[in-house]
Structure 1
């Protein structure tokens, strides 16, 4: 699995966004898209499941907070763009999740990241925080049955952006640690 300090792989993946049109072959390479921005990529195992929509909606609810920090929110699974569109159209909360959804149905990116469940052939619940230089700065991976906390992802992004020593349970606005001289 790729980890902290590794360069994010340059792989072009189909992408689906919104509900207004059928997918038309749109693609995205996160190493060239969004120059100068932090990227928060979170994978879920499969569309039309139970835990996944709670995470997508949770991230969607604080999307503006990520944007306030110069970070782009990107979702992904190993489903197709058409399946993403159908799922979004089936649920108004998912339709409102206005950020790109990677359709990594060939699992090229998930495989390069090292987050494929070998038994289920889907991605684990993996979150990558990638800096503007396309270097992975944080990784969290959960099993298939345990959802993530989007607010914790935001807290970690805040800490990373300080470039300081941040203690346990640090939150934006708290004092950072100072090394004694």
Structure 2
């Protein structure tokens, strides 16, 4: 037997504010930033203007000199050529300093291969803006964000600290985001790859899948 439940205006407002909060990162524009980084043997400065007009991936990880993180960054490097060919730059980000990034690069065989910029976020400007900052320990969650040329987040995932990510799946999602960005009347189904069939939402398609 069903039971009617009524909610006050305040309860409904709280619900919708909460719903908006947990979904707010999609289409959120990246805030202004200027951070130091380590790239191809040099210290560099990267700011918001550097990401506008092109696709980019911000790849947050907890810390240098750890365990899962170097395997993820190496996996990204193995796929870096494909990201570059897709017109996308990768930025790995942790709350370490750019000096620590250099030390890790010089010490680790895996990290020494990296060609993409390693951004330093010791003041937590980026990790707070992307909502992956962990207040309790000052580290960043394991979060991946795809940013479109307008500087807006169009896809993201955040994993538990012990769960590594897959660069090939990240690349697949990037290509899907790019396709949808270019073809606004079409959408990409599950496991879509370039060249595969897409869908064009319409009344005729309702109930046919």
Please, what TM-score do these two structures have when normalized by structure 1?
A: 0.91
Query: Gaps spanning 5+ residues in structure 1: where?
Result: none
The answer for the alignment partner of 1:8 in structure 2 is 30
**Counterpart of 2:101?**
84
Aligned to 2:75, which of 43, 48, 58?
Answer: 58
Give the secondary-structure state (helix, strand or coil) at the position aligned to 2:140: coil
Equivalents in 2 of 1:151, 1:46: separation in Å? 22
Q: In the TM superposition, what is the alpha-carbon distance from 1:139 to its structure 2 partner? A: 1.1
Distance 1:94 1:83 in 2: 12
In the alignment, which of 113, 127, 150 is matched to residue 96 of structure 1? Answer: 113
Structure 2 gaps, min length 5: 1-21, 181-185, 205-209
From 129, 133, 141, the equivalent of 1:116 is 133
Higher mean displacement: 163-172 or 68-77: 163-172
Partner of 2:192: 170
Distance 1:65 1:88 in 2: 22
Post-superposition Cα deviations, 1:112-144, rounded to whole Å, max 9, x if no partner, equal 221112322200011110000101111111121
CA RMSD of aligned residues (A): 1.5
Which segments of structure 1 move beyond 2 Å, counting only runs of 4 or more?
A: 178-181
Shift of 1:155: 0.6
Cα separation, 1, equivalents of 2:100 and 2:108: 13
**2:15 maps to which residue?**
none
What is the CA–CA distance in structure 2 between the aligned matches of 1:145 and 1:160, rounded to whole Å? Answer: 27
Paired with 2:198 and 2:91, the residues of 1 have a C-alpha distance of: 29
Looking at both structures, which has the greater relative contact order when contacts are Cα pairs under 8 Å and sequence separation is at least 6? 1
Tell me by how many angstroms 1:179 deviates: 3.2
Over alpha carbons, which structure has the higher Rg? 2
